């Protein structure tokens, strides 16, 4: 028997499939790179040409949104084709640090904090500190996720168990998506709204950044969406995806902000609902 006859069928095709998830991860990195470049370019003209800066900020926000799409597809394709590899997992995590960690804070600094506050002000220092802590929380969130994925057993007492239906803590892509959708909804730099209004919006922005960082390192449960499409009612799912896709195409500024805000907040709602449901009933104590 020839050596060619002993090779497993479609071995070449199988090897080629391993490249597809990596290509989507590389596209994720590319979008993160462009988001940083557009943020820097927008900050350069934020004082002289706010309209041009708004265009750059909007491009950066769209790049982050596309990166979320690529990040979702690379995992889905790897699971569908069974081509997940250890280097692919590590590459994806490093890509997420850039695209959903560094790129969003560059955008938030250029669009809001750096454009509103002077470098010598205490508010500026607080804003930079919060951006740094967001990046640290995101990196810690990714490290914890990788550790729990490779070792799903309970590592220490009190560590929540890992399941495929839920994430522990807010994933970093939706956190970055909420900030990007906020910029896409109102791309004009905050400094263009007047000094008083700009400072108020910048303070709210810093509060949002702090909340996102806390949610990422929390133990709140967030739906992983990995089981979506695995049931029998795939036809209804296709209709829903088509409807949502058309709404995003027509009203992207509103739909993306609503969807990202709903995902970020649903973990908090689940936690509050769980506390209310499991609250023990108070019994009357007889005198």
- Cα torsion angle, 121, 127, 132, 136, sign: positive
pLDDT of res. 136: 95
Is the pLDDT reported for residue 19 higher than 80?
no
Is residue 173 in some structural domain? Answer: yes
Is residue 285 in some structural domain? Answer: no
Is residue 95 in some structural domain? Answer: yes
Tell me the per-residue pLDDT of 39-75, one tens digit each, with 9 for 90 and over.
999 999 998 999 999 999 999 999 999 999 998 887 7
Tell me the per-residue pLDDT of 77-93, one tens digit each, with 9 for 90 and over.
766 766 666 676 778 88
Query: How many domains would you assign to the chain?
Result: 1
Most confident of 34-38, 245-249, 271-275: 34-38
Q: Which domain holds residue 134?
A: 9-277
Q: Which of 272, 110, 285 is nearest to 202 (CA)?
A: 110
pLDDT of res. 77: 73
Helices (H), 151-194: 172-185
Is residue 284 in some structural domain? Answer: no
Class of residue 88 by CB neighbours under 10 A (exposed 0-12, middle 13-18, buried 19+): middle
Q: What is the distance between the alpha carbons of residues 10 and 258, in angstroms, rounded to a whole number?
A: 44
At residue 285 the predicted structure's pLDDT band, cuts being 50, 70 and 90, is very low
pLDDT of res. 239: 84
Is residue 146 in some structural domain? Answer: yes
Is the pLDDT reported for residue 6 higher than 60?
no
Tell me the per-residue pLDDT of 134-188, one tens digit each, with 9 for 90 and over.
999 999 988 888 777 665 444 444 455 555 677 888 999 999 999 999 999 999 9
pLDDT of res. 187: 94
At residue 229 the predicted structure's pLDDT band, cuts being 50, 70 and 90, is low
pLDDT of res. 283: 46
Distance of CA 53 to the CA centre of its chain: 23
At residue 287 the predicted structure's pLDDT band, cuts being 50, 70 and 90, is very low
At residue 242 the predicted structure's pLDDT band, cuts being 50, 70 and 90, is confident
Give the phi and the psi of residue 84 in degrees, each rounded to 5.
-70, 135
Task: Indicate which CATH number applies to the domain containing 155.
Answer: 1.20.120.1760
Is residue 125 in some structural domain? Answer: yes
Other Cβ atoms less than 10 A from the Cβ of 254: the count is 14
pLDDT of res. 237: 74
Is residue 67 in some structural domain? Answer: yes
pLDDT higher at 4 or 148: 148
Region 193-214: what's the mean pLDDT? 93
pLDDT of res. 231: 55
Region 245-270: what's the mean pLDDT? 90
* Chain mean pLDDT for the chain: 82
At residue 286 the predicted structure's pLDDT band, cuts being 50, 70 and 90, is very low
Percent of the chain exceeding pLDDT 90 equals 47
Q: Which of 143, 179, 142 is nearest to 264 (CA)?
A: 179
DSSP string, 248-261: HHHSHHHHHHHHHH
Is residue 202 in some structural domain? Answer: yes
Is the pLDDT reported for residue 189 higher than 70?
yes
DSSP string, 7-57: SPTTHHHHHHHTHHHHHHHHHHHHHHHHHHHHHHHHHHTTTT-HHHHHHHH
Is the pLDDT reported for residue 23 higher than 90?
no
Task: Please write down the HEC assignment for all residues of 49-107.
Answer: CHHHHHHHHHHHHHHHHHHHHHHHHHHHHHHHHCCCCHHHHHHHHHHHHHHHHHHHHHH
Under DSSP, is residue 287 helix (H, G, I), strand (E, B) or coil? coil
């Amino acid at each position: 028997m020839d050596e060619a006859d002993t090779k497993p069928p479609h071995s070449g095709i199988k090897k080629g499939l391993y490249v597809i998830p990596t290509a989507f991860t590389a596209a994720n990195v590319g979008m993160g790179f462009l988001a940083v470049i557009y943020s820097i370019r927008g900050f350069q003209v934020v004082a002289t040409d706010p309209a041009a800066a708004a265009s750059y900020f909007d491009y950066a926000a769209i790049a982050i949104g596309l990166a979320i799409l690529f990040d979702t597809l690379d995992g889905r394709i790897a699971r569908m084709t069974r081509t997940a590899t250890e280097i692919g997992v590590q590459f994806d995590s490093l890509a997420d640090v850039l695209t959903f960690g560094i790129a969003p804070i560059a955008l938030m600094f250029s669009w809001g904090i750096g454009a509103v506050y002077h470098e010598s002000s205490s508010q500026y220092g607080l804003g930079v500190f919060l951006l740094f802590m967001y990046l640290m929380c995101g990196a810690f969130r990714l490290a914890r996720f990788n550790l729990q994925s490779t070792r799903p057993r309970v590592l220490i007492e009190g560590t929540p168990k890992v399941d495929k239906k839920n994430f522990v803590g807010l994933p970093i892509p939706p956190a970055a998506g909420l900030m990007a959708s906020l910029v896409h909804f109102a791309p004009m730099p905050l400094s263009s709204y007047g000094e008083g209004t700009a400072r108020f919006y910048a303070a709210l922005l810093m509060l949002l950044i702090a909340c996102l960082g806390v949610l990422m390192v929390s133990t709140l449960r967030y739906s992983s969406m990995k089981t979506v499409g695995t049931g029998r009612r795939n036809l209804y799912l296709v209709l829903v995806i088509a409807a949502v896709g058309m709404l995003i195409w027509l009203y992207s500024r509103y739909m993306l902000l609503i969807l990202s805000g709903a995902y970020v907040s649903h973990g908090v709602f689940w936690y509050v609902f769980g506390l209310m449901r499991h609250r023990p009933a108070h019994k009357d104590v007889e005198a």
